[in-house]
Amino acid sequence: MTKLGNSLRLTLTSWRGTRFSRRLRTWVDVRSWRDRGPLRRGRLPLVLLVAAALAAVTAAASGVVAPAPGLQLAQGGHWVASPSLGAVVHVNGSARRVDAQAAVPGIEPGSQVVQGDTSGYVVGRSRIVEFGKSSLSVERTLTPPTGERPVGVEAPGGPYLVYREAGRVVRLGDPPATIPAGGALGEPITTSDGTLWLHRVDSGVLCRLAAGADRISCPAVAPAGHTGALTVVGERPVFVDTTADTLSRVADHGLGRPTPIGVDIPPTARVAPVDVGGRVAILDPAGRRMRMVDASGLETNRSGAAPITVALPDGAYSAPSVTGSSVVLLDLDRNAVLTYNSAGEQQRAIPVPPEAGEPTLSRGEDERVYVDGAEGRHVLVVDPDGAVGLVPVVGDGRRVPSGTPVSPSSVPDPGPRSPTPGPRSPSPGPPTAERPRGDGPASPRRTPPEPRSIPASPPGMPANLRAAAQGGDLRVTWSAAAANGAAVSGYRVTWTPAAGGTARSATRPGSARSMTITGLTRGTAYRITVAAQNSAGRGSPATVRATVPPPPRSVTVSRGSDTTYEDRCEEPDCAYFRIVLRGFSPNTDYHIKPDSSRWPDFNSGATRRTDSRGNLTFEDFPFDSVGSYVWVTVDGVQSNRYLWSAG
């Protein structure tokens, strides 16, 4: 086996879980077989899977290298981009160590890496660099369709880049393809067959892109005006309706029968991409809690067990992810990784090593969760049981020769570094004979060179960028950026609607660490960047997304225009109700039911539609009973009680 070297590394890993077939994965790293055809992941019985793996080893030893037909294998481990190394580094998730790297010059700060069967892709805002996983060298450079940071998805048939704001999907591979999705998108999910599922947030349409396909199909649509997100329960896609607070299977003919969740889920909720132990983790940021929702009712068409509520400290959190039997949260305020089991019990709370910028959380195709430092200097690996391990990537910051397996411990310690030395003092010891003088010229006396000044460079990325809603404004805070040889003279703050629109910006002094952004549209997500500048130029920006919450729903009743209705309602006592709705779902029909203290149920009500901002003002329901209190009820919200008087 030693002769195989890096040609073959085979690891069979059996994972605990109720769906054993989903937990079984095989990883084969076939670096010298790159042109023989990709190995793919499949759902074979255990005996056949072991037999196929043994056949692969036998074939390698005998020189027969054709892969077993139809065998699909999960991509093992995780690649991370390290701009300081000028390289991408492979982290072996099961062994928790770095085992290979490839040189990629000029990596853009904030780049992410996704991998396919034979290639990896370094995805930046202005370019996508493909490198061979067997050759460990750059093969080509692609241009992304937009400068937006995409969601990277590793799945059979991919990998994929989902540009949510632009509504486009890039399928990487040979050849790559850009596929329009028809509008802005929510968080994508994948099922075990490699199908990518997408939610058009503007229209509620639910679409799928099959592995290897070049166009999407859309078999279902959410109710008009309803918000929500997609997840996977029992290997099948499910729509979480945050307006109706229900779960529904996504089927070929549309949405299945809705199952009540049992608690109110706000439109701002973040949903885990897959269930854990039959429960779906749903983060409620405003409520400072996470709900563990029982999804068993999808099978019985009845409500499941009551949701489990996990209280969270004040702060900002990433969307929940899942690894094996654990839910993973990233606490951005305290810079920590939190893991929970399916019962909502906390398993681990591990601090993230400090780096400039915000760490990112991703779920590998091996179903582990990886937390990358913003500068690519470390990776935290979250195992299926919720255990967390740290893998240093950069070590002491020295470059390691590309194309060879490396680990942090293999990088020698260079010791203290100093300027170029001058003449060395003689070592102590016995005196030596005087050197005879020759006829040639005397050797010049060496003097230490004067130290050279290091030119200034643009500042580093501002650290700990945060944005929090304060009413209709956003409060943005950050920590100081590294000066890099020249004092930071200012910070450039830019904000743009996440779905597209006009960018606005302002400059704060170098001593500033915060700014309040006003004049924003409620209910709209914004992309905010902060970049430091000094005499050498402007540095790399830190980026954060934040949403200004919509105003609370309110209904107000007052006396409207005078009217005469038949012969029973005459002026000056008779007039219309004037009804004002604010903060409701946009472009949605609501039934307005009027009532009074003297004449209950005097009118059956009317259905009216809100405008694009969720507001509505109208007059209806003639009334003339002076001295009575009147009110209306809309979608469970009751208005003020208005004392009726003559006009």
Average pLDDT, the chain: 78
Distance CA 504, CA 275 (A): 39
* Average confidence (pLDDT) over 556-583: 90
pLDDT at 528: 92
* Number of domains into which the chain is organized: 4
CATH for 345:
2.130.10.10
pLDDT at 376: 81
Element (H, E) at 53: helix 46-62
Q: Is the pLDDT of residue 240 over 50?
A: yes
Q: Does any domain span residue 326?
A: yes
pLDDT at 301: 66
- Residue 299: other Cβ atoms inside 10 A: 13
* Average confidence (pLDDT) over 431-442: 40
Strands 378-382 and 189-190: unpaired
Q: Is the pLDDT of residue 8 over 60?
A: no
Q: Is the pLDDT of residue 178 over 50?
A: yes
Q: What is the CA radius of gyration of the chain?
A: 31
Tell whether 487 and 632 lie within a shared domain: no
Tell whether 559 and 529 lie within a shared domain: no
Condensed to tens digits (0 to 9), the pLDDT of residues 583-626 reads 888 899 999 999 999 888 888 999 999 998 789 999 999 999 89
Q: Is the pLDDT of residue 338 over 90?
A: yes
Tell whether 482 and 367 lie within a shared domain: no
**Which residues are CB-neighbours of 326 under 8 A, at least 6 positions away?**
276, 339, 340, 341, 347, 382, 384, 385, 386
Tell whether 214 and 163 lie within a shared domain: yes
Confidence category of residue 75, pLDDT binned at 50, 70, 90: low
* Average confidence (pLDDT) over 285-296: 90
Q: Which of 528, 547, 566 is the last residue of a domain?
A: 547
Tell whether 298 and 198 lie within a shared domain: yes
- The SS3 assignment for 58 reads helix
Tell whether 517 and 565 lie within a shared domain: no
Q: Is the pLDDT of residue 415 over 80?
A: no
CA angle, residues 146, 152, 154, in degrees to nearest 5: 140
Q: Is the pLDDT of residue 39 over 80?
A: no
Q: Which of 526, 547, 568 is the last residue of a domain?
A: 547
Q: Is the pLDDT of residue 337 over 60?
A: yes
Q: Is the pLDDT of residue 22 over 50?
A: no
CA 146 to chain centroid: 18
pLDDT at 542: 86
CA 154 to chain centroid: 13
More confident residue, 502 or 128: 128
Measured in residues, the chain has a length of 647
Tell whether 236 and 381 lie within a shared domain: yes
8 A C-beta contact, residue 575 and residue 588: no
Tell whether 342 and 205 lie within a shared domain: yes
Q: Does any domain span residue 263?
A: yes
pTM above the 0.95 mark?
no
Tell whether 543 and 558 lie within a shared domain: no
Condensed to tens digits (0 to 9), the pLDDT of residues 375-397 reads 888 899 999 898 998 988 875 33
More confident residue, 578 or 298: 578
Lowest mean pLDDT among 146-155, 165-174, 240-249, 451-460: 451-460
Tell whether 467 and 538 lie within a shared domain: yes
Q: Domain residues for 12?
A: 2-62
pLDDT at 541: 85
Q: Does any domain span residue 54?
A: yes
Tell whether 567 and 533 lie within a shared domain: no
Q: Is the pLDDT of residue 21 over 80?
A: no
Q: Is the pLDDT of residue 422 over 70?
A: no
- The SS3 assignment for 36 reads helix
Q: Is the pLDDT of residue 446 over 50?
A: no
Backbone dihedral angles phi then psi of residue 543, each to the nearest 5 degrees? -130, 140
Lowest mean pLDDT among 105-109, 220-224, 361-365, 437-441: 437-441
Distance CA 116, CA 286 (A): 37
Condensed to tens digits (0 to 9), the pLDDT of residues 474-519 reads 999 999 988 888 899 999 999 999 887 888 999 999 999 999 999 8
Tell whether 469 and 504 lie within a shared domain: yes
Q: Does any domain span residue 73?
A: no
